[in-house]
Amino acid sequence: MPHRLSSALWFCAPFIVLIVLWAVFIPYFDVNPRLFPHLSSVVQAGIEGIQDGTLVQHISASLLRVAVGTVLALLVAIPLGVAMGVSPFVSNFLTPLFRFFSVLAGIAWIPIATLWFGYGFGAITFVIFNAVFFIVTYNTLLGVSTIPIHVRNAAASLGAGRWAMLTEVLLPGALPNIVTGIRTGLGFAWRGLIAAEMIATNVGLGYMLFVARDFYRTEVIVLGMIVIGVLWLLLDRLVLAPIERATIERWGMVRRA
Amino acid sequence: MKQFLLKFWGHCVRLTARWPSIGSIAPFIPVIAAWWIVTELQIFPRVFLPGPMEVVRSFGSLVYTGILPAYLQDSIVRLAVGTFWGIALGIPLGILLGLSQRARTALWPLLLFFQAIGDIAWLPILVIWFGYGLTTITVVIVYTVIFPVVLNTVLGVRSTPITLHRAAQSLGASRIRILWEVVLPGALPNIVTGLRNGLGYGWRALIATEIIVGTSGIGFLMFDARRSGSVVEILLGMIILGILWYIVDSWILAPIERATGQRWGLVTR
């Protein structure tokens, strides 16, 4: 326990140094608050945002969009990926197609999404759905098609039915790839979310940043950047990375060197 | 009939065996055909989903007027400049962090945090600092490319076996020679992987930046088309982006990655 505590302290130390530098140097050099805000005004903006509820509103709007888009995408992508990956012919045939679309995933869809769905919830959820869907499908496809054929043959000759094959061979075998796909896809989706919110909505973290820019309110911009960074760090390091590590250790085919 | 189909099939198989790139084009044919049929049947209004022919025609006219080549060049130059600086700053930083434990404790948490902020969130404040222009776009791309490069370089430097270090040292190699002949080649496969990831993110950042603050480029083309409601040009932009990245990734980056992996990779089978 003392070891974990000290490593946590070491992790925080650089941030404390950075914050102290910020608090000292910005007033010292008398930087125009239109260029870079003072620490105190950012803290104040944070407190104000929490008190009048706007910050919470922006955060919850953004998180809701990510959650809805991701869940919808996973519900479609995983079954589709497994179904396509089962046959080597189909998966070989479709791989280039999905590579092409996973390249486009996310941000490139913003213009057409806003045209199809109008500005608002629909367009942004569509962008997130897109970013997650293609990458997860592609990775599932890849995961299922790289399961060694003798494992599938062994299961089949031991009398595994279709259902047992699916739940005990195909899904566990593809799981490390699926989880990696989700993590990459969410990374793109998060960026896509911020970009889409700058363009196409009236609530959300990206919108908060972009409106603040119009009024040169740098303290709100910096606050927004910190919130975005912290949220993603929490999501990625505390949720996604541990899941990825656990599945790879449990079901991964990588033998440790 | 069956005979004919089998013969045709055999022909296809032989053709794809000779030119593997045909195999990667084939799946797009049914998709384009389906797209064409859907637009011909007018399931969606034409304004919302134009057909492939219209996209090709607008490609022709945009090339003819010179807009498309100029925009394409702008985008590629921006990406190249940004990537260059990303590599030039990222690799030395990565090697420093990989070799020095002290630098790592000091900078690693900051690196993770700033990576998490993400390129696009920097846009508003960068616009205030640098205005609309090349500097803003370059900074965003450098910012995007540098993190995967640094993180992967650190990983690569740290994964070169310590025995190699010691062997070179006891054979009398100077620090610079160790850096040049042990550390760098050992880390190269990881660096290339990082570069490939970084370019993937940088590419998207470029599009987003051009959409939001751009005055030219493929992203700007798409957003300008969106403003005037011309779906044809949006689709054209998306297709060009996809093709371009596909070419860069699978014809340039993936072979380099494979080659360095084979030449210097330490993956023990």
Q: Does residue A30 sit in helix, strand or coil? A: coil
Strand residue runs (E) in A92-211: none
- pLDDT higher than 60, residue A256: no
| Domains of chain A and CATH, by start | 45-251 (1.10.3720.10)
pLDDT digits (tens, 9 = 90+) for A193-212: 888 888 887 888 888 888 88
**What ipTM did this prediction achieve?**
0.78
Q: What is the pTM of this model?
A: 0.81
Interface with chain A: mutation pick from B9, B117, B140, highest number of A CBs within 10 Å: B117
Mean pLDDT check: name the lowest of A80-84, A153-157, A194-198, B1-5.
B1-5
Write down the pLDDT at residue A74: 92
The shortest C-alpha distance from A161 to chain B (Å) reads 31
Interface with chain A: mutation pick from B113, B143, B223, highest number of A CBs within 10 Å: B113
- pLDDT higher than 90, residue A218: no
Residue B265 phi, psi (nearest 5): -60, 145
Write down the pLDDT at residue A252: 59
Residues whose CB falls within 8 Å of the CB of residue B98, separated by 6 or more in sequence, listed in order? B104, B153, B154, B155, B156, B157, B158, B183, B187
- Looking at chain A, which residue has its C-alpha nearest residue B233? A112
User: Closest partner residue to B204 among A14, A18, A191, by Cβ?
Assistant: A191
- Ranges of each domain in chain B: 2-40, 55-264
**In chain B, which residues have their Cβ closer than 8 Å to the Cβ of A228?**
116-118, 121
User: Closest partner residue to A14 among B110, B122, B268, by Cβ?
Assistant: B110
Write down the pLDDT at residue B23: 66
Q: Select the CATH number that applies to the domain covering B55-264 from these four: 1.20.140.10, 1.10.3720.10, 3.40.640.10, 3.30.420.130.
A: 1.10.3720.10
pLDDT band (50, 70, 90) for residue A257 = very low
- pLDDT higher than 60, residue A254: no
- pLDDT higher than 80, residue A249: no
Retrieve residue A197's tokens.
Answer: 């919110």
Mean pLDDT (whole number) for A91-104: 79
Q: How far is CA A164 from CA A156, A158, A167, in A?
A: 9, 11, 5
Q: What is the pLDDT along chain B (269 residues), one digit of tens a residue?
A: 778 878 877 777 777 677 666 667 777 888 888 888 888 787 777 777 787 888 888 888 888 888 888 888 888 888 889 889 999 999 999 989 888 888 888 888 888 888 888 788 888 888 888 888 788 888 989 998 999 899 889 888 888 888 888 888 889 888 888 888 888 888 888 888 888 888 888 888 888 888 888 778 888 888 888 888 788 888 888 888 888 887 887 778 778 877 776 666 554 43
Q: Is B126 exposed, middle or buried (0-12, 13-18, 19+ CB in 10 A)?
A: buried
Residues in chain A: 257
- Cβ contact A116–B117 (<8 Å): no
- Cβ contact B231–A257 (<8 Å): no
Among residues A95, A83, A254, A245, the alpha carbon closest in space to that of A180 is found at A245
Residues whose CB falls within 8 Å of the CB of residue A144, separated by 6 or more in sequence, listed in order? A81, A82, A84, A85, A86, A91, A170, A173, A174
What do you get for the CA distance between the two ends of chain A, in Å? 29
Cα separation of B263 and A91, whole Å? 30
The shortest C-alpha distance from A43 to chain B (Å) reads 18
User: Measured between CB atoms, does A103 come within 8 Å of chain B?
Assistant: yes
- C-alpha R_g of chain A: 23
- Looking at chain B, which residue has its C-alpha nearest residue A19? B110
DSSP string of B114-157, one letter each residue: HHHH-TGGGHHHHHHHH-SSHHHHHHHHHHHHHHHHHHHHHHHH
**In chain B, which residues have their Cβ closer than 8 Å to the Cβ of A191?**
118-120, 201, 204-205, 208
User: Measured between CB atoms, does A238 come within 8 Å of chain B?
Assistant: no
- pLDDT higher than 90, residue A75: yes
Task: Give the number of A-B residue pairs with CB atoms closer than 8 Å.
Answer: 152
- pLDDT higher than 50, residue A24: yes
